[in-house]
């Protein structure tokens, strides 16, 4: 069992304390980033004459050897050494001797871990930005293939007005575009270098923070050492953006689940993304969509955990911050997996265009257009709304749809109805009239597709 840091302690930590305090079981995934940061730090120490250039070169070389062992799976992680940083430093000293002990000059584990987590988070942000973009491209491709398909648009889960399926799909393009933008904006706040803050007050050594920042690709350098070592806002923002993206995935999943039921029968999900039942041979369950919907709550939990960890911490670093990594890692892993699997699942879906078109006959989707027709003829819209409501009630009692009504029947409710109303209530005609910017008209959807391709 390892002794406590430094000469202050005579005894060894309790076995349960060691178990409680170890983090290498989960923070080992920061190893490559820890080594990158240490190489940049050691190079700077040598350039500044804080340590000898010979020692700096030995450290850089030794860290490279450690990294090779880690990537090859040959590195032995020791829980008694607590964390990823200490494991790597001890391995370095074993390889190059006393020169390795000089690596930690002018830094603390406080600014070191903050650096590592920022480097790791930046990489994840870049991957998620690309995954969101790729998922958007899938929605564009699906919309192009189904540009003429009409289905009922809903509010309150009730049939409302006919829309193009392409328009519906491009709504998700917009959602994941906002997600992508959130991560792009977050990257600026992640990409701030904390190294050089040391434990909390900075360092008396003449370090060159700009050199290290440039070597590690940071756009900015932290300007308050106390804030730098305790700031985890970027991790909370990351989990928040991840939670919002998962919410969008969950909304999509819910629709796919509903649409795949016999009651809707709008889609059939590909076999590779569905499962059977252990007892009912006929079942084809949308398990992938259900799992994505379920994992959304998990990412919400990650965000709540981080907010709760941070809410009571005084300045500056507190050991509670060790608990920031697991929710951050989990949120990233879960979101990336779900984005990737949904991106694979969507092209497998077969859309039942005939069933969607047939569903537009139910629910009086043309009612708003009837009211708009009367308003265009000069009737106040509220009056037109009431007249149309009476027409709907008449149709329900007569067992008819509005397009089935004769002109004589329509004129019983208003003399404003004329020959031009006949044929204007077909779903395709209704859709064509929604030609304002952002509407569901084919002309607008094609324009939206052009904009989407440019945005990608």
pLDDT means per 10 residues in the chain (456 residues)?
57 81 94 98 98 98 98 96 96 98 98 98 98 98 97 97 98 98 98 98 98 98 98 98 98 98 97 94 95 98 98 96 97 98 98 98 95 96 97 96 94 96 94 97 98 96
Across 279-346, the runs of DSSP E, i.e. the strands, are: none
CA-to-CA separations, 225 to 66, 120, 196, 262, 264, in angstroms, rounded: 30, 20, 8, 60, 58
Active site residue 248: no
The CATH architecture that domain 110-152+161-203+216-357 belongs to is Up-down Bundle (1.20)
Cis peptide before 219 (omega within 30 of 0): no
Total residues belonging to the chain: 456
Separation between Cα atoms, residue 202 and residue 205, nearest integer Å: 9
Residue 19's pLDDT is 84
Q: What is the pLDDT of residue 10?
A: 72
Per-domain residue ranges for the chain? 15-105, 110-152+161-203+216-357, 359-444
Q: What pLDDT score was predicted for residue 3?
A: 45
Predicted pLDDT at 11: 74
Extended beta strands in 78-172, E state: 150-155, 158-164
How confident is the model at residue 99, as a pLDDT? Answer: 98
CA angle 202, 211, 321 (to 5 degrees): 45
Q: Reduce the DSSP state of residue 406 to 3 states and report it.
A: coil
Please check whether residue 137 is in contact with residue 169, taking contact to mean a CB–CB distance below 8 angstroms: no
Q: In 3D, which of 418, 416, 399 has the Cα closest to residue 361?
A: 399
Q: Could you read off the pLDDT of 49-74 as tens digits, one per residue?
A: 999 999 999 999 999 999 999 999 99
Q: Which of 38, 168, 230, 277 is catalytic?
A: 277
Sign of the CA dihedral 421, 426, 432, 437? positive
CATH class as words, domain 359-444: mainly alpha
User: Of 23, 85, 146, 156, which residue is the catalytic one?
Assistant: 156
**Encoding tokens for residue 130?**
């690309």
Torsion (CA) 231, 236, 238, 240 in degrees, nearest 10: -160
pLDDT score of 356 = 98
The hierarchical CATH code for the domain 15-105 is: 1.10.275.10
pTM: 0.94
**Token pair recorded at residue 110:** 């406080």
Cβ-based neighbour number of residue 217 at 10 Å:
12
Closest among 112, 319, 287, 272 to 199, alpha carbons compared: 112
156 as an active site residue: the answer is yes
Q: How many CB atoms lie within 10 A of CB 36?
A: 18
pLDDT tens digit string along 314-354?
999 999 999 999 999 999 999 999 999 999 999 999 999 99
Judged by DSSP in three states, 351 sits in strand
């Amino acid at each position: 069992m390892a002794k406590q840091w430094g000469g202050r302690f005579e005894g060894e930590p309790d076995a349960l304390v060691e178990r409680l305090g170890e983090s290498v079981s989960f923070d080992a995934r920061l190893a490559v980033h820890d080594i990158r940061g240490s190489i940049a730090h050691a190079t700077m120490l040598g350039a500044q004459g804080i340590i000898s250039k010979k020692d700096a070169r030995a450290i850089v070389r030794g860290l490279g050897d450690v990294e090779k062992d880690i990537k090859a799976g040959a590195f032995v992680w020791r829980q008694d050494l607590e964390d990823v940083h200490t494991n790597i430093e001890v391995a370095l000293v074993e390889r190059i001797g006393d020169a390795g002990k000089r690596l930690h000059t002018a830094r603390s584990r406080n600014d070191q871990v903050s650096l590592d987590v920022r480097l790791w988070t930046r990489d994840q942000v870049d991957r998620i930005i690309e995954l969101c973009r790729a998922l958007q491209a899938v929605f564009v491709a699906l919309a192009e293939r189904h540009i003429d398909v009409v289905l009922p648009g809903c509010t309150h889960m009730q049939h409302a007005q006919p829309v193009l399926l392409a328009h519906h799909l491009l709504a998700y393009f917009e959602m994941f575009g906002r997600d992508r933008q959130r991560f792009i904006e977050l990257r600026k706040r992640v990409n701030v270098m904390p190294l050089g803050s040391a434990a909390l007050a900075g360092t008396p050594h003449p370090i060159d923070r700009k050199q290290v920042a440039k070597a590690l690709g940071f756009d900015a350098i932290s300007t308050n050492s106390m804030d730098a070592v305790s700031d985890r806002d970027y991790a909370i923002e990351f989990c928040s953006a991840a939670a919002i993206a998962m919410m969008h995935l969950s909304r999509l999943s819910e629709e796919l689940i509903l649409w795949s039921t016999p009651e809707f029968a709008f889609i059939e999900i590909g076999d590779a993304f569905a499962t059977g039942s252990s007892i009912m041979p006929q079942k084809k369950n949308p398990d992938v969509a259900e799992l994505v919907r379920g994992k959304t709550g998990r990412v919400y939990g990650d965000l709540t955990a981080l907010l709760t960890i941070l809410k009571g911490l005084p300045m500056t670093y507190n050991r509670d911050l060790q608990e920031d990594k697991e929710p951050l890692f989990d949120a990233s892993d879960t979101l990336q997996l779900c984005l990737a699997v949904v991106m694979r699942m969507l092209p497998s879906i077969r859309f039942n265009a005939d069933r969607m078109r047939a569903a537009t006959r139910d629910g009086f989707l043309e009612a708003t257009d009837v009211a708009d027709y009367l308003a265009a003829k000069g009737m106040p819209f509220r009056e037109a709304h009431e007249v149309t409501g009476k027409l709907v009630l008449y149709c329900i009692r007569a067992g008819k749809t509005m397009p089935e009504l004769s002109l004589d029947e329509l004129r019983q409710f208003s003399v404003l109805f004329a020959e031009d109303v006949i044929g204007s209530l077909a779903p395709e005609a209704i859709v064509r009239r929604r030609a304002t910017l952002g509407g569901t008209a084919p002309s607008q959807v094609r324009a939206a597709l052009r904009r989407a391709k440019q945005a990608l």
